[in-house]
Structure 1
């Protein structure tokens, strides 16, 4: 059931119970203004309260079948293993929730158009007749004697026979001054949205009865006639003229209006005693009970140390993956859907599927000749979930009771983070000495089916690789991988990614795991030098003090061209656009190879934007912007200062040895630190910081503590 349809059902439940309370307890009271407030207040509350979720206020037995129960135990290796009981998939039935959704929507559109047409017709008729403006209303004089007297917002339409009747005039002014037409339009809108609900038609009759009773009371209080004279006038006025349901006619002979008998009875009715006001206070326990009925409990997981609460969510998750059958061959025609639903996605010829589902969802995979599989989507999985290789088990007449450790497969999932607890999108996880692997999504999550007893290797550019042992006595393994930054002398492995093809095209296929990865011309050092010389810290990011890592994904084609450049995870403030701009300016790469042939390969690249976090000076503030990869050999740095005389400060990533300053060069000429401080930051075109490399050899021992090259803008 979709969240919108569930919201609609909850709103109708509130409407029924609120109107039932009114009909049983309040409809015969003479507290007319309170009745009007109750009807309008509960009408609006019925559409707002379904959006409210009160933690701890729930009748759990009503939601007992909503979420699967997950048992969590601890494996010998120290990792957490989660096992979810598999159940038979539900038979395919007509999608009744979807049919109901479209039926309600169609009825709402028809009734809304009908109400709009009726409002337009009344206004059109009013503007065709002569009018006379008054301080708080506008008199309308229809020439037709068959037009009844009625009011609509500030318009008072008087039948020619009623122009001299002060009693009729005061009654209609009661409707106008109390804005009864607003109530009528609200009821019309609610009836259009929830047209199958009979309670709303009761709401409409109740609010119109209250309007007429209030207008009669207003007329008897304002007019000089007594109550008996007003009642006799109502009887003598009771002729039948056609009226519009959106207006307030003086003569009410329609079914939605109170009868003449009811109006006269209300005029003579003794006022309800004030002690009956306690009935209006019942709205509080009724509302609380309704919230308890409509609030779903938070799903929980039973662990060896107690129940672990898992908050539910209504956000959408994009899910994609590849389903394979016998011999790890792609399985086309497999059906993937939310458990219990008949709609879903079917795998293509390569076994690939994709669909969008709510979080906290269980997916079922059905394929003829194979056992059903269930996949659990949790809120912590993020906005993107990728299943690398889902292998279905063939159905057999007598399946073996045990599976050898060598042939068993373990579902491994988890999160890869840096030592500062930030996720690492694009990190690679591969089976050691195997061809199977995957990459993390934008939240650092991954999932992979690995052979039992194997070893996984986690890699990311600029970090030390880490191994994950896969035990032989488990079926599901959940891990939390923390990678430490690599030292300057560490041989950082090049990135590899998912083992299945992501974006097949008509000309070629895009690989994510290859034997020889693509490289920037000149290697990693030249790549970092290009980034340092080309990247510019966006002014908006400096102004807003925005820093962090932008993860860029692109495809290196077989001819070395870069395309499909996109941001996997950004930080905003212009940094994402700047990272894409720099990557789009890169020259052609050296393409990757697989089995000796040149292929297109998907590549992930992190770009780091960092601002100096030193305390501000007493007379102003200094901000240093750094843009580089964590392994950069060159970086561009710029500083703006508002303290007195403009100054500039360069911040190398490595501290000067023994407190020594690096060598400063402007437009090819060596300068001192003092001369550098005197430069106007606005005149700087670019800054490059060199920690090592052949660039330092040109200056000999002068650059032993580093080199800072500054290029000024052309005058």
Structure 2
């Protein structure tokens, strides 16, 4: 549920940013084709972007280099029911179930409204009479009564226009034919479906209205290629504005006539590309933000130092080239001391811990964090997750005390596949920590070692395990 809420929030944020960009920079520009494409793509970008796993290399090294010391395995979740919790059959009215039900009902209402409008179009077509076919495959129908003029699919439906002369009727027909030729109906249906599935997000409805406006601007632009812009603007000004009852169609008479008149005045101006190109740094910024969030999510599992205890040094293993010496790095809150060969320590820096002064082979052979061929659990990561799910248990005392949260276990895969140096990096409770260590110990001798330059080497891992109660 937390992941779903996080995804929906990210989608809403991305969609809001894209809408504000359009409203501020593109809305009043006469680059109609680009604006149309932008509005059609914006919801898809908002839906897909949070799902993409961006590499953390997009984030600056300083943001993650001090914390990502080991490879993090996929988080494992252990779930148990709270003592005395209601049975699963009684959870029908849980907040999650209610939220899902409300969402489904809202989506069905929007979809039923769309179906009703499509049925109305079908009924109107049955009552209309075929007038003529123009521009190849565009069919014109004459409407009875006082139905409004609109275009849908490959057909144009003309109302009775006794108050207009023949020249004005031709202009209106050209406008509706432009809607058909530009395939605006498919855009409308696409956004109607989006409105059903994303009906909770008000930005979708705003984008839909902006797309309708762009449709009218495009159709008007095609008309003034044949007719004089001044005469066509005068026709728009004379038309009576009224509310329509079939929003799935494209209408000549719409409340955005004033906007259309403004865009007609921009018809002679060259469409600029500077503002549309600004979408590239915008998307780059969104990608950068998501990469930082992913890096932060990875680093958040490591415990921070307690106020009453000094922060311990963390050693980072750097890959060793054939002609280079290893340089262990000590990261501290006040200074960074780097030990280099044949150099004396700076007296201004704090004293180094004994482990850094150790020149024994054990001190030099610290485990790698990344190698050419990473260690692998027999059968792969999927089998490892199955193994953990089968063997790990939620301690009874932790269930009774309501203890839940994340515990992080660190271990080293030795060059013979055994697991050593198993320790808890992030503690939750004594019993839970013990259970997590126990399961990791049981995985020993089921790993193939990592390989570097054709030789087996030691590699360090971290395994996050989340314990949750229902």
Scaled to the shorter chain, the TM-score interval is 0.5 to 0.7
Please give the per-residue CA displacement for 1:318-349, whole angstroms capped at 9, x wherever unaligned. 63557587xxxxx5xx7xxxxxxxxxxxxxxx
- For residue 18 of structure 1, what is the aligned residue in structure 2? 18
Matches within 5 A, 1:315-354: 319-320=389-390, 331=396
Between structure 1 and structure 2, the one with the greater Rg is 1
Name the count of aligned residue pairs.
328
Which residue, out of 233, 236, 258, partners 2:235?
A: 233
The answer to whether the aligner puts 1:279 opposite 2:279 as a matched pair is no
SS of residue paired to 2:278: helix
Distance 1:6 1:373 in 2: 18
SS of residue paired to 2:192: helix
RMSD between superposed Cα atoms in Å: 4.6
Matches within 5 A, 1:579-598: none
- For residue 171 of structure 1, what is the aligned residue in structure 2? 175
8 Å contact from structure 2 (residues 148, 244) kept in 1: yes
Distance 1:33 1:409 in 2: 57
Please give the per-residue CA displacement for 1:591-627, whole angstroms capped at 9, x wherever unaligned. xxxxxxxxxxxxxxxxxxxxxxxxxxxxxxxxxxxxx
- For residue 149 of structure 2, what is the aligned residue in structure 1? 149
Compared CA separation, residues 290 and 120, structure 1 to 2 (3 A): farther
8 Å contact from structure 1 (residues 239, 251) kept in 2: yes
The answer to whether the aligner puts 1:125 opposite 2:124 as a matched pair is yes
- For residue 306 of structure 1, what is the aligned residue in structure 2? 317
Distance 1:15 1:205 in 2: 15
Deviation at 1:415, TM superposition (A): 4.6
Compared CA separation, residues 192 and 321, structure 1 to 2 (3 A): same
Distance 1:409 1:157 in 2: 70
Distance 2:198 2:447 in 1: 51
Deviation at 1:182, TM superposition (A): 1.2
Matches within 5 A, 1:415-426: 415-417=444-446
More helix by share: 2
- For residue 113 of structure 1, what is the aligned residue in structure 2? 112
SS of residue paired to 1:222: coil
Deviation at 1:414, TM superposition (A): 1.7
- For residue 160 of structure 1, what is the aligned residue in structure 2? 160
Compared CA separation, residues 212 and 320, structure 1 to 2 (3 A): same
SS of residue paired to 1:240: coil
Compared CA separation, residues 96 and 25, structure 1 to 2 (3 A): farther
8 Å contact from structure 2 (residues 69, 316) kept in 1: no
8 Å contact from structure 1 (residues 153, 181) kept in 2: yes
Which residue, out of 257, 261, 285, partners 2:258?
A: 261
Compared CA separation, residues 48 and 182, structure 1 to 2 (3 A): same
SS of residue paired to 2:273: helix
Distance 2:437 2:32 in 1: 69
Distance 2:100 2:150 in 1: 38
Deviation at 1:270, TM superposition (A): 5.8
8 Å contact from structure 2 (residues 143, 159) kept in 1: yes
Distance 1:264 1:242 in 2: 20
Matches within 5 A, 1:633-648: none
Compared CA separation, residues 2 and 117, structure 1 to 2 (3 A): farther
The TM-score, its normalising length taken from structure 2, stands at 0.58
Distance 1:33 1:70 in 2: 45
Compared CA separation, residues 268 and 178, structure 1 to 2 (3 A): same
Task: Compare relative contact order (CA 8 Å, sep 6+) and give the higher one, 1 or 2.
Answer: 2
- For residue 292 of structure 1, what is the aligned residue in structure 2? 288
SS of residue paired to 2:161: helix
Compared CA separation, residues 213 and 205, structure 1 to 2 (3 A): same
Matches within 5 A, 1:370-385: none
Which residue, out of 393, 397, 414, partners 2:443?
A: 414
Deviation at 1:128, TM superposition (A): 3.8
- For residue 661 of structure 1, what is the aligned residue in structure 2? none
